[in-house]
Structure 1
Amino acid sequence: MSTTPVNVQIPSDTEAPIIADFVEHALRVAYFDRQHWASLPSSDWDAPGVYILMTADGSSRVYVGQARKLRGRLQQHNNKEKLPWRRALAVKRDTTAGFNTAEIGYLEGRIAAELNALHQITVIEGQTSGDETLPKHMMISLDAFVKSILGALRLAGLDISRSNPQTLTEDEQPTSAPVPSNKPNKTVTVADLVSSGLLQAGQALFLSQAGKEAEGSVTADGEIIVRGVSYKSPSTAAAKALELQSSNGWMAWKVGSQSGPPLDMLRQQWLIQQTEEAEK
């Protein structure tokens, strides 16, 4: 289980925002109630970033947005209500350069898609199709930021747990793999393939099944992104991509193209490598 280091600043002024610094990605998050939105200092928060507005009526409705000037956009939301929000969080980059418009467009789409995939949350006017004009290496970096922002929502008390299983029967070790006595006794993950170099972050994946086709991409920590939502399990990712009850993602996902090798071939190579290492 991985953790994210966070430094939290709780001011003595109860109207001032609580600030959380996500150290790994230099993200700064401000938590505040709607009635105190003006306590956000313009010197710090008229900056590019993304924001999430949350209700307090039990409906679990959220609004996901992005702005070149966060504080100014939040003032607009306060004056002209699109959602009866009562609390919010704003996210910016705690660096000199900060985010650019393409980056916040991509993050807005990814966060909205991740939240929209949860049955217990309703996204209002969220942009589920993020900015795709960024170079691949920048998308890979921003995908890592998404986890920190979702973690920030957990700190705000939002339930972002998934009800669907993240490990299916098809994700267990393949029975066709070599089975020596010293065979690694673990379920192979996409993260194993990435960490070993057999699969690269940003690698495109393709699948075709039941007359449907879909695409995905691999994150740096070994998840598969499909339509803006990341999945640890290749089988869950395949089933969601094709809107099927189930799919053997290790066999269905092809690497690089529709005619490329299946993920299972790389899984077999990983198992062989681990066996050879154990025999040394």
Structure 2
Amino acid sequence: MKRLIKTALLRSLSLRTQVRLAYALLNNVTASASRDDAHLLEWLFAKVDLQQVLLEDRIRQIKFSGRVIADGAAPGVRPPLQTCLMEDTSPWTQQARISDANAIPGMISEEEGQYYEYIGRLYRGHGEVIELGPWLGKSTRHIIRGLDKNPEFLGRQLHVFDDFVWRSSWMNRHGDCEQLPDHADFHHLFEKYVHGIRQRLAVTRGKIVDYDGNEDLAQIDWSGAPIEIMYVDCGRTLQVNEAWYRIFSPSLIPDISLLIMQDWRTHRERPRLSYNETHWFTAAHPELEIVHEVKDGGIATFLYRGKR
């Protein structure tokens, strides 16, 4: 009974107060800890660390969600963007659920699929649309579904870039897909799964940086044409994100271009992983302003605020 009462009291406190109490407890235990207390300290640190993630989420949501922002839209073209971060009810989750893309092996959540279909409807025809890292094409199908509902995309193609190098250590774990040898070319699998929309795609095989089997491929480049939307799922490290940004950022349109960062929310994962650096990347670029963040998945979207 005493334990239940203590738990109820703890849950009645604000998240910020819970974090403060946890830090105070951690400091007290640390001051008198012995080697035998190591497991307890690790457990306490994990609990505090998780509460810190939730606190940062809530601060970000309060600070940024629900704002109307000027995004360079011409009057009458569409309403200004409204920010929405981790809300239970969002514009994209109000859409009807689509099941046909679920037959494709993939690594995106249902909400992320809904988001891809939603964001394509906001396209205005100011520039090209790019996807970096489609894997087998599940995200690609959702992206095309959204863009195809937009008359501004009529006659255009989605530009898709990937090195199409199979990494068996983690790719074999996702879905009921074919199992390929390590470093095999899986371009044929992508072509198989996007067959019905292939004419809507301009596909390029190449690398952004040298990585695990792609060293012999040519580095991707870009024509210089203006870019309105980029869907980015090509890696989480600062190195790879800075590399694609150097290639494509000169073509981004200030106050119009949207960057959909598939792995942005991975900085929240616990235990921490050293390669989850996408959050650091956006923090290093103040010209990227957060607009949307899903609740279930890794996506956050940024409006490019660079100089004209």
Q: Which has the higher helix share?
A: 2
- For normalisation by structure 2, the TM-score amounts to 0.24
In the superposition, the TM-score normalised over structure 1's length comes to 0.25
Q: Which has the higher contact order (CA 8 A, sep 6+)?
A: 2
